[in-house]
């Protein structure tokens, strides 16, 4: 068609440049600096060319630039395929396409690229703020699409029209979002570049590694309990279990899931909850001690840690039932028990001496040895602090006998060491302890600063028993919150401080909104879709049912919108409607009005046919003519005309 080859006007060039900038700028933090600057300056150059109305560069030069840009991306990422390189290429293409705006087709290509860049943005972040920026970009891009079709209207008019049309599109979006049958991705191999370094627990523990986490208020996971929230002191969220000690670091040894059912018998009351785990790039799933089953695609390791088959790349949600009072009473393997006794050949002589003394006193009575160790830790008057002094050699002895100041990893490490030295199998368990209830949405929020380490000891008649040595010296850490246990004046995460309660309140509100967003918008997975539709009354929502409901509801929305069109049509011209009403009344008396007939001519004819009504016919016609043709007709004139006609009974 001839119209498609229209050249792009200067005004359209400005529009396209604005849309491209709007789509490209939010992406720049995720792109290499050279690319952001390069594409940015090409866009600036395009602005200058538009302003000066210069000629566009020749095609061969653009082709060279495309090749150079692709090569540079390949060099940067070692590939041009995959998510980030793909986005980088889009960033180059859109800038260069702006230099090739010759016909309407090129303008369309830029607009469609802009929509695509919005999707690219979502590959990096999907927060509420991102969504808001995306909405602005989409409004601008849609206005640009309208300007590419007709650039005469003023910019604010096009923006308003674009906003209106998108607002009208919203019902369709909501319906499709809820009802469109979801497919669990990926459709093709997910590129491996999605993992980004996040703060969180690791599979090894050195003195200071958890204290470091205490400075981060990033969210680890959120929990929604279906009943009341258990007591704070019961909230032990089990994570990596560490059995191997090299004198300084503890290391997890089990990285494989082996069983789907727990080996321990369940006792006591149960707690049902749903846990939403933030992506952390590790295979661990956290669970309240101790669950009765595993979530989908996961298993227990030998040391009772929940491991997912794949690393957690996306926000993951699972429901569990835990029994906090359960005792880990089962026959553990000899390998595990042997490993839980292993110690370095030498080092830390003072605690070894103390442990040897407990052993000679209590012999094989593990329970008594544990009690002796607890007693010993209590008498050492250890202090709980975020900033323990550095100890270079013999870290256990240094903590217990010299500095006497430490964070939970010091306590757990020293306690497990002393039990092992006394011949009782022991290991360190890391995870999170406690959590903060957000009163706004009822979710328990567990942050990185809730990271904790504790100890498990093997007692032949009771199995693995949790002993939290931190609780001996700093009971408030467990009963209340770690902030309460830390001495005043230590550096805490800003919002964790007690005097920041109003800010924390504000944060809780924001967090509740963000969580709602995560749960319902970002977490609207195929599974949640099924659950939600079931709760709405669809018994077995398969794709046929969803499509049917979707079709019916979309049809309804379409009808409403179409009705809006018809309504607008009937709205038109009340003056003419009044006139038609008048002519109908006369037609009943045999005076037919023809639509080519002027009002005056008709009035004359009607007056001749019905001489008794001549006066009112003339009066009505005069009112009508005034409304039609006089420059200043008022609404009062219209109601006057309507009155006259209402009282007209020929």
Partner 1 sequence: MPFTLGRPLRQLRLQLHESFVRWALRVRVPEPAPVVLSQRRVYVLPTRAGVAYVMVLVVILLGAINYNLNLGYALVFLLVGLGVVTILHTFRNLVQLSLRPGRAESVFAGEPAHFDLTLENPRKELRSSIRLFIADEDPIEVDIPALASSTATLSQPTQQRGWLAMPRITIETTWPLGLIRAWAYAAPDLRCLVYPAPAASAPPLPWSDDSAHGSTRDGSGRDDFSGLRNHQITDPPRHIAWKAVARQSDGPLLTKLFSGAAAQRIWLDWQLLPPDLGVEQRLAVLAHWMLDAEAAGLAWGLRLPGQRLDPGSGPTQLAQGLRALALYGTA
For residues 18 and 110, give the distance between their C-alpha atoms in angstroms, rounded to a whole number. 11
For residues 532 and 526, give the distance between their C-alpha atoms in angstroms, rounded to a whole number. 10
**188 binding partner 1? (CB under 8 A):** yes
The answer for residues whose C-beta is within 8 angstroms of residue 371's C-beta and 6 or more apart is: none
Q: Select 577 or 588, whichever has its Cβ closest to partner 1.
A: 577
**Quick check: is 542 catalytic?**
no
For residues 97 and 108, give the distance between their C-alpha atoms in angstroms, rounded to a whole number. 11
H or E, element range at 396? helix 395-397
Two structure tokens written together for 578: 């009044």
How many binding residues for partner 1 (CB under 8 A)? 62
For residues 486 and 474, give the distance between their C-alpha atoms in angstroms, rounded to a whole number. 9
**341 binding partner 1? (CB under 8 A):** no
Q: Which residue has the tokens 């407990």?
A: 358
**2 binding partner 1? (CB under 8 A):** yes
Q: Which of 425, 376, 422 is nearest to 401 (CA)?
A: 376
Beta strand 405-406 with 383-384: parallel, antiparallel or unpaired?
parallel
| Residues from 201 through 220 that contact partner 1 (CB under 8 A) | none
- Supply the minimum distance, in Å, between the C-beta of residue 159 and partner 1: 12
CB atoms within 10 A of CB 225: 17
**Quick check: is 55 catalytic?**
no
- Supply the minimum distance, in Å, between the C-beta of residue 5 and partner 1: 12
| Residues from 536 through 555 that contact partner 1 (CB under 8 A) | 554
Near partner 1 by CB under 8 A: residue from 66, 103, 123, 614: 123
Binding mask 133-172 toward partner 1 (x if CB under 8 A, else -) reads -x---x---x--xx-xxx--x-------x---xx-xxxxx
Near partner 1 by CB under 8 A: residue from 9, 70, 126, 216: 126
The answer for residues whose C-beta is within 8 angstroms of residue 61's C-beta and 6 or more apart is: none
Q: Which of 314, 315, 318, 287 is nearest to 301 (CA)?
A: 287
**Quick check: is 114 catalytic?**
no
Residue of 408, 410, 511, 613 marked catalytic: 408
**187 binding partner 1? (CB under 8 A):** yes
CB atoms within 10 A of CB 459: 18
- Supply the minimum distance, in Å, between the C-beta of residue 441 and partner 1: 19
Backbone angles phi, psi at 219, to 5 degrees: -80, 130
Q: Select 96 or 113, whichever has its Cβ closest to partner 1.
A: 113
- Supply the minimum distance, in Å, between the C-beta of residue 104 and partner 1: 8
- Supply the minimum distance, in Å, between the C-beta of residue 566 and partner 1: 9
Q: Select 126 or 545, whichever has its Cβ closest to partner 1.
A: 126
DSSP-derived 3-state class of residue 284: strand
Near partner 1 by CB under 8 A: residue from 381, 488, 565, 636: 565
Cα 11–chain centre separation: 38
For residues 545 and 566, give the distance between their C-alpha atoms in angstroms, rounded to a whole number. 31
- The catalytic residue positions are 408, 452, 468
Question: What residues line the site for partner 1 (CB under 8 A)?
Answer: 1-4, 83, 104, 108, 112, 115-116, 118-119, 122-123, 126, 130-131, 134, 138, 142, 145-146, 148-150, 153, 161, 165-166, 168-173, 176-177, 180, 182-188, 190, 314, 521-525, 554, 558, 561-562, 565, 568-569, 571-573
């Amino acid at each position: 068609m001839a119209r498609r080859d229209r050249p792009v006007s200067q005004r359209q060039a400005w529009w396209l440049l604005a849309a491209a900038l709007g789509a490209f700028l939010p992406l720049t933090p995720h792109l290499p600096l050279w690319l952001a600057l390069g594409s940015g300056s090409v866009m600036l150059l395009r602005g200058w060319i538009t302003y000066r109305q210069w000629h566009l560069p020749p095609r061969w030069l653009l082709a060279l630039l495309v090749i150079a840009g692709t090569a540079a991306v390949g060099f940067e990422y070692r590939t041009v395929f995959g998510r980030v390189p793909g986005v980088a290429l889009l960033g180059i293409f859109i800038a260069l396409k702006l230099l090739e705006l010759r016909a309407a087709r090129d303008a369309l290509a830029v607009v469609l690229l802009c929509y695509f860049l919005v999707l690219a943005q979502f590959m990096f972040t999907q927060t509420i703020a991102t969504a808001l920026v995306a909405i602005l970009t989409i409004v601008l891009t849609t206005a640009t699409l309208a300007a590419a079709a007709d650039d005469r209207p003023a910019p604010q008019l096009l923006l308003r029209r674009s906003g209106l049309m998108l607002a009208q599109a919203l019902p369709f979006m909501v319906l499709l979002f809820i009802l469109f049958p979801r497919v669990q991705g990926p459709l093709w191999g997910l590129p491996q570049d999605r993992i980004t370094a996040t703060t969180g627990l690791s599979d090894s523990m050195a003195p200071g590694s958890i204290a470091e986490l205490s400075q981060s208020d990033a969210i680890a996971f959120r929990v929604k309990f279906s009943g009341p929230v258990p007591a704070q002191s019961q909230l032990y969220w089990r994570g990596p279990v560490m059995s191997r000690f090299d004198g300084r670091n503890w290391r997890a040894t089990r990285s494989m899931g082996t069983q789907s059912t727990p080996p321990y018998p369940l006792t006591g009351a149960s707690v049902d909850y749903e846990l939403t785990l933030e992506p952390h790039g590790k295979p661990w799933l956290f669970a309240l001690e101790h669950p009765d089953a595993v979530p989908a695609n996961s298993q227990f390791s030998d040391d009772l840690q929940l491991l997912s088959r794949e690393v957690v790349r996306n926000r993951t949600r699972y429901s569990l039932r835990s029994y906090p009072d359960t005792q880990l009473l089962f026959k553990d393997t000899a390998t595990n028990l042997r490993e839980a006794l292993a110690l370095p050949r030498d080092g830390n002589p003072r605690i070894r001496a103390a442990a040897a003394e407990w052993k000679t006193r209590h012999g094989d009575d593990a329970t008594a040895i544990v009690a002796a160790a607890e007693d010993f830790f209590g008498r050492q008057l250890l202090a709980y602090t975020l900033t323990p002094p550095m100890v270079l050699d013999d870290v256990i002895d240094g903590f217990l006998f010299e500095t006497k100041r430490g964070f939970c990893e010091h306590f757990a490490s020293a306690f497990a060491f002393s039990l092992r030295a006394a011949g009782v199998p022991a290991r360190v368990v890391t995870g999170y302890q406690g959590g903060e209830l957000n009163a706004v949405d009822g979710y328990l929020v567990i942050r990185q600063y809730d990271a904790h380490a504790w100890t498990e000891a093997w007692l032949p008649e009771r199995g693995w028993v949790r002993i939290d040595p931190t609780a001996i010296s700093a009971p408030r850490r467990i009963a209340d919150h770690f902030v309460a246990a830390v001495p005043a004046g230590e550096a805490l995460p800003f919002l964790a401080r007690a005097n920041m309660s109003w800010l924390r309140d504000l944060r809780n509100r924001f967090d509740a909104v963000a969580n709602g967003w995560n749960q319902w918008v970002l977490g609207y997975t195929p599974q949640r879709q099924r659950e939600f539709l079931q709760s709405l009354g669809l018994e077995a929502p398969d794709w046929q049912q969803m499509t049917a409901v979707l079709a019916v509801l979309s049809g309804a929305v379409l009808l409403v919108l179409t009705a809006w069109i018809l309504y607008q049509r009937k709205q038109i011209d009340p003056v003419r409607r009044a006139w038609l009403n008048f002519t109908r009344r006369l037609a009943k008396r045999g005076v037919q009005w023809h639509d080519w007939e002027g009002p005056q001519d008709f009035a004359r004819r009607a007056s001749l046919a019905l001489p008794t009504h001549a006066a009112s016919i003339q009066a009505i016609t005069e009112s009508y003519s005034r409304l039609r043709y006089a420059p200043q007709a008022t609404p009062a004139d219209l109601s006057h005309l309507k009155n006259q006609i209402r009282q007209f009974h020929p």
